[in-house]
Chains A and B, each alone.
Chain A
Amino acid sequence: MNNENRNIHPPRWAERLLGWYCRPELLEDLQGDLNEYFDRNVKSKGTRRAKLIYTIDVLKFFRIYTIRKFEFINLLINWLMLGSYIKTSGRNIVRNKLFSTINIVGLAISMSVGLMMIGVLSDIFSYDKFNEHHSRIYRVTSDYKYLNERGNTLATTSLKAAKAIEENFSIPEEVAIFHHGFEGDLKAGEKAIPLKGYWANESLFKVFSFHLLKGNPATALKAPYSVVLTETSALKLFGNEEPLNKVIALGKEQYSVTGVMKDLPKFSHVHFDMLGSLSTNEILSKDSKDEMAWDNVWGTWVYLLLPPNANLRNLKTNLDQLSAKEDPSVKNTHVELSLQALDGIMLGPDLGNQIGKTMGGSMVWIFGGLAFVVILSACFNYTNLSIARSLRRTREVGIRKVIGALKSHVISQFVVEAVLISIGSLLVSLLLFLLLRPYFLSVEESLQAMLSLQLSPVLIAYFVLFAIVVGMAAGFFPALFFSKINAIHALKDLSAGLGFKKLTTRKVLIVFQYSISIILITSTVIIYKQYKHFLAFDLGFKTENILNISLQGNKPEVLKKELNELPEVKEISQSVMVTSVGNYWGTYMKYYTNPDDSAMVYYNTVDEHYLPLHEHKLIAGRNFNPKLDSANETEVIVNQAVLKRFKIMEQKPEKAIGEIVKVDHKDVQIIGVMQDFHYGRANNRNMENEVILRYSSKKAYLLNVKIESADILATHAKIEAIWRKIDPVHTLDAKFYSEQIEKSFAGLKASVKVAGFIAFLAIGIASLGLLGMVVFTTETRLKEISIRKVLGANEASLLFMLGKGFFLLLMIASAIGLPITYLFFDQLLFQELANHAPIAFGDLFIGAGAILVVAISMICLQAFKASRANPAQVLKTE
């Protein structure tokens, strides 16, 4: 070999690959051959080609006769040594109490989040599995497009489509239909119980495995005016009497009970108290044109039971053909039908009009990602501390190697140790899991309804598996590190400074942990600020001290009269809905200058007290006058956006008064123009919603009661007493406007809680890790510190010397974390979120500052302790 070629080496990884797969008896001369060719190629074809050829050759030699046989004896040795590993690991865990505690606590904290995640996933994945054919059930979803404006994808479809699929499609075995609208107060004799349910067809029991306790599943929902009750509803209505064939009344109709089904399992995506036969609905809504309209896609859920191995593409083609056939029946509208698997509903996209609550895939991804980051952070602690301590264990590894341990033996030893620690952490984290479970479920109301997080043998098995995986992940890098220790070096020169190698990796890990912590805490602060900002948002009207009471079918006058007698009640108005909490009521409006332009406007139907009570600002015109006969709608109040949208009188409010517009096919006169306000939630992108207020003194679903009271609870009790007198069936549903707004931002509140909690954990774990590192560094440098002191260093300079490395790391972490957070919110999240508060730079630094203070005080405390140690004591032992 030429001297100038000495330093040119074949690619390391290829060499290693060859060494890994090749049989030992063939290895040496094969390596030699390849080297010889490599040297030749370097000379004739250049280094780069030579390396390429070498790599290709290594790959080409991967053949049956060159591959290493599975070595059974190694496995046997590993198995025999397991006892020894466990013993030494146990001793080590006990010997280093501080490090073991840091590791176990850190892992336990992070694993409790992981356990929560596993619990949630296992609950979510067990949804709808009680259905025997769950993998063959599909739901028909709709995309509603008006004039090519992309609308939401809906979980519902039209009754028309449902019927067409049921009658004409050949692929589905059965078609189950749920149709909304079957609910109200059911009367059985004297009793009246409010129940909720759906109209449903008889195939329902063939598609879903709902267990019918009484009655015949094939016919129970066939005849008109039949009702199937759940066990609980039957018990409520009839007590212990036999419910079958009893007559119950809902409104004017009489129904007979044809079946009693077992209560729905908790893990069902659809819930109801009763089912009415769909044939009844056909009779009741015979005269309604809308009911069977193609574009009435809001109230019917259709589930198909497909044969095994059904061709979904063919079915989709059939659906497209159906759309193509029916689309012309409604102007400017396209309804696209698609299929969604039953098993995908809980984790699927957030469709509109879900039949029940769903989790949403994105939520699980975000939460899972956070859990993963926290667990990773704890694993880093383990890696860091283990490698830092390696100095003390090199001798052990050296001796093991001299006696004959292979790399793989050392690796398995350290992995076993890590798994032992993680199993220990599992016990702690299981306790934490049980402690945290109720808090987690109460983070958001819907979680409580959706999840149970009950421990089951399967779940425990998942937990153990999870702990083993975490242990292996945490122990892998230390194990690799130890396995590489050279036995001779380790025994010859203990202070060879193995512990100070890999410093860069450890620094990177610390920076990573702190960056994550800073990102999480800062995000929490920012989201919290947004939440507060939206609650205090100026909606364009006043919401203070307004109690919204849902009438639940009662006459407004009676309640109003009673409530007016309370001294605390200042004013009462009525409306059909609550604005600014995410509810939308829409209708169509036209202006005569452009008869073809019919556009959707949002509305609220109110009485004459509504405007002054909510302090909406009228720009021009007048409020409604009280009118008893409201059957004939003649007047309307519009907002500025309406004038702009329909180009009414050059948008001049004064001139618009008296103009006639068509609302819901009726001519009405504009009598007032009010200022724009947030009809949707405060974070709604489009502030300029076209809103009209319509008048009715009779039609009302809500009373808005303005209250002035020092003792809200007492007032509430008084109102409740009045309510109970008027309506003994329903419970009072009264909420303050501000509460309702708060509730409409419950998702944001929940994310503050969850993000805050996870940020807290991440900081805790990172701090534990840093503490371990600081303790270790100061311990190993104790002698140096003492000598420096003897030579005259003062405490402040020692503090600076010990701490500066860590300060630098923390600075780097903030320099990474803060811009990432800022960009994430500014460029990504806030682009989607309208009307958000700007990110204040103070907010960015609060969280980061808090973390830094904790970290720095920790470092200082340790460094101070070390610098205060008596040098004479330390140096005496030398």
Chain B
Amino acid sequence: MKGTNLGEFEELVLLTIASLVNDAYSVAICDEIEQHTGRAAKLGVVHAVLNRLEEKGLIKSKLGEATKTRGGKRKRFYTLTVPGKTSLVRAKDMRDQLWDKIPAFVLKSASI
């Protein structure tokens, strides 16, 4: 099933949500990604991914308190669910395993 594997951007979004802890809402996620990767994260793309992740059950959301900013509209805060966390960990494990298998000299030239 496609849903169990994470896409690259999906993983990025999940990581960002995890790193923002309690302050992960769409605009903040966009900004964070932009800051860390240096590439522009469009709201439209992030919004679609968030929606998909929520459908997959990897994240959950709830609306925050109304404030005077944002034209009085509430923010939707995202947090990781248990399956979300597992899939992140699994993705990291998979990478780590692969990293471990790479002999040191293969990447030597890249580090110079």
Contacts and interface: CB of A to CB of B under 8 A. Distances in A.
Contact of B44 (A31, A32, A35, A60): A60
B27 interface: yes
B79 interface: no
Contact of B73 (A29, A57, A61): A29
B44 A29 contact: no
Contacts of B63: 28-29
A868 B74 CA distance: 61
Contact of B76 (A29, A61, A63, A65): A29
A252 B58 CA distance: 102
Given A36-B27, A37-B27, A30 B69 contact: no
A55 B69 CA distance: 20
Contacts of B44: 57, 60-61
Residue from B27, B43, B70 with most neighbouring chain A CB atoms (10 Å): B70
A33 B43 contact: yes
Given A37-B43, A65-B51, A31 B69 contact: no
B73 A32 contact: yes
B1 interface: no
B2 interface: no
A723 B100 CA distance: 124
Interface in A53-112: 57, 60-61, 63, 65
A1 B69 contact: yes
Interface string A23-41: 0001011111111110100
Contacts of B69: 1, 36, 39
Nearest to A30: B47
Contacts of B76: 28-29
Interface in B36-69: 43-44, 47-48, 51, 63, 68-69
Contacts of B51: 26, 65
B73 A28 contact: yes
Contacts of A63: 48
A34 B48 CA distance: 14
Nearest to A27: B73
B70 A65 contact: no
Contacts of A60: 44
A1 B71 CA distance: 9
Contacts of B68: 1
A1 B70 CA distance: 8
Given A29-B73, A32-B73, A35-B73, A65 B43 contact: no
Contacts of B71: 31-32, 35
Given A1-B68, A29-B63, A36-B69, A61 B47 contact: yes
B85 interface: no
A31 B75 CA distance: 10
A29 B43 CA distance: 12
Nearest to B64: A29
Nearest to B26: A33
Nearest to B76: A29
Given A1-B68, A1-B69, A33 B48 contact: no
A35 B70 CA distance: 5
Interface string B73-102: 111100000000000000000000000000
Contacts of B70: 31-33, 35-36
A1 B67 CA distance: 11
Contacts of A61: 44, 47
Nearest to A1: B69
Contacts of A28: 63, 73-74, 76
A29 B48 contact: no
A60 B63 CA distance: 23
Contacts of B43: 33-34, 37, 57
Contacts of A57: 43-44
A37 B75 CA distance: 13
A35 B51 CA distance: 19
Interface in B2-22: none
B59 to A, nearest CB: 14
Contacts of A39: 69
Contacts of A36: 27, 69-70
Residue from A29, A30, A37 with most neighbouring chain B CB atoms (10 Å): A29
A31 B27 contact: no
A33 B74 contact: no
Contact of B47 (A1, A33, A35): A33
A33 B45 CA distance: 13
A57 B43 CA distance: 9
Contacts of A65: 48, 51
A37 B73 CA distance: 13
A31 B48 contact: no
Interface in A574-599: none
Contacts of A31: 70-71, 73
Nearest to B55: A65
Given A1-B68, A37-B27, A32 B75 contact: yes
Contacts of B26: 29, 33
B106 to A, nearest CB: 42
Nearest to B69: A1
Residue from A31, A36, A37 with most neighbouring chain B CB atoms (10 Å): A36
A65 B25 CA distance: 19
A744 B75 CA distance: 79
Contacts of A26: 51
A793 B35 CA distance: 77
B32 to A, nearest CB: 14
Contacts of A35: 70-71, 73
A33 B43 CA distance: 8
Interface of A: 1, 26, 28-37, 39, 57, 60-61, 63, 65
Given A57-B44, A65-B51, 13 more contacts: A26-B51, A28-B63, A28-B73, A29-B74, A29-B75, A30-B47, A32-B74, A33-B26, A33-B43, A33-B70, A35-B73, A37-B43, A61-B44
18 contacts: A1-B69, A26-B51, A28-B73, A28-B76, A29-B25, A29-B75, A30-B47, A32-B70, A32-B73, A33-B27, A33-B47, A33-B70, A35-B70, A35-B73, A36-B27, A37-B27, A37-B43, A57-B44
Q: Which 10 A-B pairs have the closest CB atoms?
A: A32-B73, A29-B76, A32-B70, A35-B71, A35-B70, A31-B73, A33-B26, A36-B70, A36-B27, A28-B73
